[in-house]
Amino acid sequence: MGTYDAAAHERWVDEPPKRPERTPFERDRARLVHSAALRRLAAKTQVVGPQTDDFVRNRLTHTLEVAQVARDLGRTLGCDPDVVETAALAHDLGHPPFGHNGERALDEVSEACGGFEGNAQTLRILTRLEPKTVAPDGRSVGLNLTRATLDASTKYPWPRADAPDPQGVHADGTTRAVRKFGVYDDDLDVFAWLRVGAEAGVRCVEAQVMDVADDVAYSVHDLEDGVVARRIDPGALLDPAERHQVWATVRDWYLPGVDDAELDETADLLLAGTSWPGTPYDGSRGAQAALKNLTSDLIGLFCTEVRDATVEKHGDRPLTRYAAELVVPRRTELAIAVLKGVAAHYVMRADDRVAVLERQREVVAELVSLLRLRGPDALAPAFRADFDAAGSDAARLRVVVDQVASLTDASAVAWHARLR
C-alpha cells in the first residue's frame, strides 16, 4: 500500500476484491484498460483526423504514450505507478468527436446546462456514464475507481463557476471562450467525495505528473507527426523570419508574455542539446530513425529536468497525494511551448485545416439540435433512459450532449447524415 492511506483506497461503492492478490490501484487500471470509452479514443482526432493517414496519431495512441511517460516519471518520484498510469489513460476520455474543436462547439450549444469541458466530461464518464458498477439505489457509478485514482484524473479540480478566464486564440484567430474546469454542477456530490481532505483548487502530485506527461507527449509527438506529414520542416527554426512567425503563435496560444529573445535562446538550446535533424525529412529509414531519436531525446530531457528539479526541492523521498508540488523548470516550460508552437503554427493554423475545423463544429452543433428535435427515440438505449429520467430541459440537454460527446469522428458524421 506504500504511502497511500485507507481513504486513498476507498471506492464510492464498496466492492470486495475478486482477486485479493491485486492491489486496488491495479484493479483501477484494469477497469480503465477494458472500458469502451478508452477504445473509442482510437477513432477520435488528436491533431488531424485518424482516417487521414496510417501514421498519424489518434487520441488512443496519444493516450498510450502519455501513460508510458506518466508511469515512468511518477515511478521515479515515488508515486504508485498504477495510479499515475490510470490517470493518464483517463485524461482524454471526455474528448468529444473532433477533439478540442468539438469541445468548443459543444460548449457553445450547452450554455443552458452548464457548458461543456472535456475534463469535466472525463469525470462524468468515470463516475457515471461508463457502465461497470451500480449503487444499491440503482444509480450507475461508472467504473467506481478509488479516490486516489479519481483525484489523480482531475486536471482542473474546480467547477465552472470557479474557472479562470480563458486566454489565447483558436486556430481561426477567434478568442478562446471555453473555460477549463473539472466538474459539472450535477456531479458535485462525487467530486466532493473524491476531494475529501484536499485544499480547494490544489491538485495532487499524481494529477500534476499526468498533466506534465500530457504536455511532454503531445509537444514532442505532434512535432513528429507534422514532420512526417511534410507540414513541418525541422530546419524552420534555423530561419530568423520563420522563428518570428512561430513565436507569435507561441504567444497567442500558450505563453502570452514571453519575448522573442527568450524563445530564441530556448530554440538554440534545443538545436544544440538534442539530435535535432540537420537535413530535411525524406521518409527513408535513416530519417525515420533520426526523428525517433529526437523524440526520445526530448522526452528524456524534459522528464529528467522535472524529476531533478522536484527532487531538489522536496528531497529524495516518495512523493504522493498532497506531499509535494511538482517543479517544472522555466527552461522546460519554454522548450515545450516552442515545440507546441511549431505544431500549432504549421499544422493547426494551416488554411486548409481552418476550413475543416469550421465544418466539424457545424456537424457537432447540428447534431445536438437534431437530437433535441427527434427526442429520446433517436438516442442510444443508455442515454434514452437518462433522458426519460431527466427532470428538466437543462438535464435533458445534458443527456443529448453526453450522447454526442460519446461519438467518434466517423460516427458523428454518420449520425449527422442519418438524422438529416
- Along the 420 residues of the chain, how does pLDDT read in single tens digits? 358 999 999 999 999 888 888 999 999 999 999 999 999 999 876 654 445 555 567 889 999 999 999 999 999 999 999 999 999 999 999 999 998 889 999 999 999 999 999 999 999 999 999 999 999 999 999 999 999 999 999 999 999 999 998 877 665 566 777 889 999 999 999 999 999 999 999 999 999 999 999 999 999 999 999 999 898 998 888 889 999 999 999 999 999 999 999 999 999 999 998 899 878 899 999 999 999 999 999 999 999 999 999 999 999 899 999 999 999 999 999 999 999 999 999 987 766 777 888 899 999 999 999 999 999 999 999 999 999 999 999 999 999 999 999 999 999 999 999 998
Rg (CA), the chain: 21
Structure pTM?
A: 0.92
Q: Are 87 and 93 in contact (CB under 8 A)?
A: no
Cα dihedral 217, 68, 76, 299 in deg (nearest 10): -30
- Return all residues near 346 (Cβ < 8 A) that are at least 6 apart: 226, 231, 232, 236
Contacts 24+ apart (CB under 8 A), 32-40: 32/86, 32/89, 32/90, 32/143, 32/145, 33/89, 35/93, 35/130, 35/132, 35/143, 36/130, 37/93, 37/125, 37/129, 37/130, 37/406, 38/63, 38/89, 38/93, 40/406, 40/408
- What is the pLDDT, as a whole number, of residue 316? 87
- Counting Cα atoms < 13 Å in the Cβ hemisphere of 1 gives 8
Please state, in angstroms and rounded to a whole number, the distance separating the CA atoms of residues 365 and 405: 11
- The answer to whether 188 touches 305, Cβ cutoff 8 Å, is no
Q: Which residues touch 36 (CB under 8 Å, ≥6 apart)?
A: 130
Say how far apart CA 209 and CA 215 lie, in whole Å.
10
Q: What is the pLDDT of residue 69?
A: 97
Q: Can you give the pLDDT at residue 176?
A: 75
Output the nine-digit C-alpha cell for 100: 478540442
Q: How many angstroms separate the CA atoms of 154 and 90, rounded?
A: 9
- Asked if residues 277 and 290 have their Cβ atoms less than 8 Å apart, the reply is yes
Predicted local distance difference test score (pLDDT) of residue 1: 37
Cell of 295: 523524440
* CA-CA-CA-CA dihedral for 256, 258, 263, 265, to nearest 10: -170
Sequence-ordered strand ranges (E) for 123-210: none
pLDDT of residue 402: 98
* CB 191, CB 310: distance < 8 Å: no
